[in-house]
Every structure is written in structure tokens, then in C-alpha cells.
Structure 1
């Protein structure tokens, strides 16, 4: 019964798959489901031939895999070609220089970074014995929550 339906209305199955894949592609924008939809178009095209439904599935799968590996990577490169290479968030802070804004008490204090932001900061474990005073130069080596982990700038010079 189901096999007879698939044989008689295979085109309906292919059109449904194409629509489902296209809707998913609209939300993911990764070109994977677009390639699956195009593979389903190949399955739809073969449904109008006397080929068995299982052969249609194989043809759709082969076309989809070929498109995913041959067409998708160049499309993704072209899409991301003009992406902004500027770092953001934590990545933009790592390695940034700053100036001690208030004397460190123990290993904790405040630093003003070169981007103008003032951060709560602490020294790295390796440099926690250093005494930092207002005006000393530091460099950010990591971010721990809302705290910039810093070390004296002369320590990071080669």
C-alpha cells in the first residue's frame, strides 16, 4: 500500500522534501539544506522517469553529497569573504596594554586599558608578588569573568 503510494506519488514526496529543506535553510543559512533541496530536485526530476523509487533516492543522495562537498565550500568562502576581521569581546582584550588606575592592594586593583575601559584586575599567579602602582604599564593575559588578569608589561616583552 505505502509502496504503491510512493510509486504513484513520488513527486509529492520530493516536492515536500524540497520545501522542508528550503524552510530549514532559511533558518540555518549554512547551505547544507540548500544542497539537500537541490538533491531532492534531482530526485524529483527522476520521478518523472520510469526509474524505481529506490533509484530516485540513491540519485538524490549522490547529487546532495556531491553538492555538499563540491559547491558548498566555495559558496561559504564567497559569503564570508568580506567578513570584518576585527576581534571582538574577550578576543579583543587579550594582549591589550593598559595603565594601572589605582595602586594594587595585594594582587588586585584597577587598570585602564588602551581602549579606554577601566577593569577590575588581578595579577597572574606567576607575577602576584609584584607591586604595581598607579601609572605602571600592564598587559592583559586573560579574562576571568569580569576581571582582567594582567601582568607587568615589561615581563611580556621578548
Structure 2
């Protein structure tokens, strides 16, 4: 099987379905933090707005301009993020990175839908785009925590 055929198979029907139905798109009027991240390799960008209440994400919005893999990742994250603590979200980010780089375990529920991206582990040039939504969200959570600590 050629590398091109493998890449075409990577864009499975489920990944394309997720990419076509990203929840929480747009922007929040009054976020606690906003972060825009860009993958230098492919130019994909994700901007996230986060609002926190009682130590959990209470509202979330994302503006996603990414490849189908980055969109699929943002879709899973958007579906799972509300009600999660910063520690749960950081654990999901770390698990996704480990899954892609080291064939580690799938991120824990409710982020276990990221399993659909496991075939992308062979394509290191796609990892940054897949990580964008969680990386941006974690950076936004850091900003919120640093603001409250100050």
C-alpha cells in the first residue's frame, strides 16, 4: 500500500463526520481567556474562548481553521469540554500527545472520542494540528488560573 493510499484512508468517514459538525463554534462575548494557536507546519489555527465557574469550564467557543484532522480533534474537544476541570483537560491533552507520539492509551472519557485520530500517529506532520484545540484550551486555562492567583 502506498503512503498516499494510507493518507487517504486516514481521512475516514468518522473523521470527516466530526470535522463537519464542530460544536461550540464562534466566539464568546465575555471570555475569561482567549488563546489563538497556529501550527507552523500546516498553517492550521484554532482560537478558543473559555469561561470558568466553580473550577470547571462553564462556557467554551472555538474558531477552527484547520485540516480535517484538526477539525475532528476540535469537534471531540468541543463535545467534551463543558463541565471539565483544568486537570481533566490537561490530562486529555497529555494523553492525546502520548497516544500520537508513543502509541499510548486513549484519553479518558469524555475525551475518548479522540481515539479516532490514532491512525494519524504515523503522520508526525499532522500532530500539531490535532493538538491545537487542547493546547489552546490548556493555555487559556493557565491564563485564567494565573489571573485568579495574582
| TM bin (shorter chain) | under 0.3
Structure with the greater relative contact order (CA < 8 A, sep ≥ 6): 1 or 2? Answer: 2
More strand by share: 1
User: Which has the higher Rg, Structure 1 or Structure 2?
Assistant: 1
TM-score norm. by structure 1 comes to 0.26
**TM-score of the two chains, using structure 2 as the length reference:** 0.27
Higher helix share: 2
